[in-house]
């Protein structure tokens, strides 16, 4: 009885020290979020507004996308529409090919991860350089991100030090984060200066003005798009928002929820191409339009990709991003993976104790935990339900429908207390792997009641 997530989590937890560091460090990010959220008396009102604005926008998504595209085009942007990941990749490649681009510098975009853009471009002879420090480290290691905002959270400074020694020729055994970051600055500065094109994601697309808004702390999106005259934006269609009025609400929630900062260092608004340059926006569907009509799961489209749900999730903190089979981990990842391909990603559905902490930190009030509960109900229909859980559930129902059987069970159960340990505690007993079994009471409550041993306390 075990899912891929449970198996990977076991491995993750085997290394107690790093598992504890991962857990405590991410909890600290959650804690920072708590502190800043309490500095704004209107915090919960903002969350409610954010949720309602998103709901309104999604329920008029076609209108807002048309408005966004019209305004962006009026500003001089070239807007493309991609039905799926392949079309997105083709569009991007064709733009780069047309401009004879040999090297493109990228800032972070989970959408381009979803579309697997990097390997697609590299296979066609275009060099792709990730410019976010965490993403660049992972690119040099040929690893995937393990968190959507803190991609290299699973790595230790020693690993980065060794990597930079090899790839950037830094000082031997120097793993001071400041030293390594400044080395990366120098290295990536050269990449920015020599790139032929820049790609970014989009945190928001403002329908009323045609703005693409990109939020970073490092300034990598801005460096890239300042140097190269060709800028391509990859934007999921759910990123469109009505106006600057709504943007105020989302901006105030985003960085506070993600890292506990009142704002990211840079909040850049792109409207027009640079002189002599081109500004392309690729709007991507890849299943989102269908999700909009899914009554149980449309709320995933409200997601701001802040990562707060991961930081609070007690399971994610103790299992790490690589325990999940979908490229986005944690509560939002479980749901997004199931929406993409349920028969492929169902293993992640076990990674949840239904504590609902994620719902309370989500700046868009997505019902993440309740959606996971709903996916669990769907697993049997997909023939992915764990047989042990299925038989236990059917078995329990059988017993609980029949009070006579139930009461007999209660009478006989205490005998289990006396069984020899080797019978109870073995590989078949997952409970017993780290816990003692509870003791069955000699007399259950219903037996006591029947034998008149439950005495009331009469008021004198």
Partner 1 sequence: MNSREDILSSIRANLSKGFELPMQHIETISYPDKTARFMEISTAVGGEAMLVKEGEDINALLRSTYPHARKIVSNIPEITIANMNPDMVENPQMLDGADLSVVRGQLGVAENGCVWIPQDSKERAEIFICEHLAILLDKNKIVNNMHDAYHDLTFNDYGFGTFISGPSKTADIEQALVIGAHGATSVTVFLI
Partner 2 sequence: MKIGLFIPCYVNALYPEAGVASYRLLTSLGLDVEYPINQTCCGQPMANAGFESQALPLAERFEALFEKFDYIVAPSASCAAFVRGNYPDILKGQHLCQAFEKIYEICEFLVDVLHVKQLPSAFPHKVSIHNSCHGVRELKLSSASELNIPAYSKIKDLLEMVKGVEVFEPDKPDECCGFGGMFSIEEPEVSVAMGLDKLKNHMATGAEYITGSDSSCLMHMQGIARREGFPIKFIHVVEILAAGL
Cβ distance to partner 2 smaller for residue 90 or 378: 378
> H/E element holding 235?
strand 230-236
Shorter beta-carbon distance to partner 2: residue 208 or 437: 437
Instruction: Give the residue with the Cβ less far from partner 1, 42 or 171.
Output: 42
**Applying CB under 8 A, which part among 107-115, 179-187, 192-200, 447-455 lies near partner 2?**
447-455
Instruction: Say if CB 339 and CB 297 are below 8 A apart.
Output: yes
- Sequence-ordered list of residues with C-beta below 8 angstroms from that of 14, at least 6 positions apart, any chain: none
**Out of partner 2, partner 1, none, which partner does residue 314 contact, by CB within 5 to 8 A per kind?**
partner 2
3-state secondary structure 25-91: HHHHHHHHHHHHHHCCCCHHHHHHHHHHHHHHHHHCHHHHHHHHHHHHHHCCCEEEEECCHHHHHHH
Contact with partner 2 (CB under 8 A): which of 18, 32, 40, 179? 40
**From the list partner 1, partner 2, none, which binds 32 (C-beta under 5 to 8 Å, kind-based)?**
none
Q: Does 27 bind partner 2 (CB under 8 A)?
A: yes
Number of residues that bind partner 2 (CB under 8 A): 80
Q: Which 206-225 positions form the footprint of partner 2 (CB under 8 A)?
A: none
What are the helix (H) ranges across 209-299? 220-227, 244-259, 288-291
**Residue whose CB is less far from partner 1, 46 or 358:** 46
Find the part of the chain contacting partner 2 (CB under 8 A) among 241-249, 261-269, 282-290, 406-414. 406-414
The secondary structure element, H or E, covering residue 266 is: strand 266-270
Question: Closest distance between partner 2 and the C-beta of residue 370, in Å?
Answer: 9
Cα separation, 85 vs 325, whole angstroms = 19
439 interacts with partner 2 by CB under 8 A = yes
Report whether 119 contacts 88 (CB < 8 A): no
Residue 393's binding partner, choosing from partner 2, partner 1, none, with beta-carbon cut-off 5 to 8 A by kind?
partner 2
CA dihedral (109, 111, 115, 121) in degrees, to 10, reads -30
Q: Judged by CB, which is closer to partner 1: 79, or 334?
A: 79
359-370 burial string, b = 16+ CB within 10 Å, else e?
A: bebbbbbbbbbe
Which H or E run includes 129?
strand 127-130
- Is the CB of residue 37 less than 8 Å from the CB of residue 43? yes
Residues in 3-22 that interact with partner 2 by CB under 8 A: 3, 5-6, 9-10, 13, 19
Among 122, 144, 341, 392, binds partner 2 (CB under 8 A): 392
Q: Which does 437 bind (CB under 5 to 8 A by kind): partner 2, partner 1, none?
A: partner 2
Place of tokens 């702390």: 217
Closest CB to partner 2 among residues 275, 354: 354
Q: Which residue of 293, 387, 394, 422 would you call a contact of partner 2, by CB under 8 A?
A: 394
Q: Does 424 bind partner 2 (CB under 8 A)?
A: no
- Under the binding rule (CB under 8 A), the answer on residue 403 touching partner 2 is yes
Adjacent-strand bridge partners of 199: 106, 232
Query: Residue 413 CB, nearest distance to partner 1 (Å)?
Result: 48
By CB under 8 A, what part of segment 288-307 binds partner 2? Answer: none
């Amino acid at each position: 009885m075990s899912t891929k997530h449970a198996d990977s989590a076991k491995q993750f937890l085997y290394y107690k020290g790093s598992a504890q560091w991962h857990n405590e460090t991410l909890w600290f990010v959650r804690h920072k979020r708590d502190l800043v959220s309490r500095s704004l008396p209107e915090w919960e009102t903002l969350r409610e507004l954010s949720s309602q604005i998103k709901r309104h926008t999604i329920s008029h998504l076609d209108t807002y996308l048309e408005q966004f595209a019209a305004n962006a085009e009026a500003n001089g942007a070239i807007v493309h529409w991609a039905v799926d990941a392949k079309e997105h990749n083709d569009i991007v490649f064709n733009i780069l090919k047309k401009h004879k681009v040999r090297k493109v510098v990228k800032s972070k975009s989970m959408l381009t991860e979803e579309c697997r853009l990097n390997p697609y471009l590299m296979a066609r002879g275009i060099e792709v350089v990730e410019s976010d420090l965490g993403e660049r480290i992972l690119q040099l290691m040929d690893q995937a991100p393990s968190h959507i905002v803190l991609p290299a959270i699973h790595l230790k400074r020693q690993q980065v030090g060794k990597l930079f020694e090899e790839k950037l020729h830094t000082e031997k055994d120097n793993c001071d984060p400041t030293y390594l970051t400044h080395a990366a600055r120098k290295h990536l500065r050269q990449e920015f200066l020599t790139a032929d094109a820049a790609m970014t994601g989009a945190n928001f697309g403002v329908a009323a003005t045609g703005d693409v808004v990109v939020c970073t702390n490092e300034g990598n999106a801005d460096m890239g798009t300042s140097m190269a005259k060709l800028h391509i934006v990859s934007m999921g269609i759910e990123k469109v928002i009505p106006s600057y009025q709504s943007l105020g609400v989302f901006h105030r929630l985003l960085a506070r929820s993600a890292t506990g900062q009142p704002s990211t260092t840079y909040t850049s608004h792109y409207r027009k191409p640079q002189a002599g340059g081109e500004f392309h926006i690729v709007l991507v569907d890849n299943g989102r339009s269908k999700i909009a009509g899914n009554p149980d799961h449309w709320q995933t489209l409200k997601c701001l990709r802040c990562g707060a749900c991961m930081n609070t999730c007690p399971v994610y903190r103790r299992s790490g991003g690589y325990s999940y089979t979908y490229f986005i981990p944690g509560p939002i990842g479980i749901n997004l993976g199931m929406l993409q391909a349920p028969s492929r990603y169902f293993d992640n559905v076990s990674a949840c104790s239904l504590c609902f902490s994620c719902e309370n930190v989500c700046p868009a009030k997505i019902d993440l935990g309740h959606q996971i509960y709903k996916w669990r109900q769907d697993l049997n229909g997909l023939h992915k339900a764990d047989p042990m859980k299925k038989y236990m559930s059917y078995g329990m129902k059988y017993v609980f429908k029949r009070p006579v059987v139930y009461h007999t069970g209660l009478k006989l159960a205490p005998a289990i207390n006396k069984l020899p340990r080797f019978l109870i505690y073995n590989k078949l007993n997952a409970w017993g792997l780290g816990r003692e079994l509870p003791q069955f009471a000699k007399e259950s409550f219903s037996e006591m009641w029947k034998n008149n041993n439950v005495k009331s306390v009469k008021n004198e």
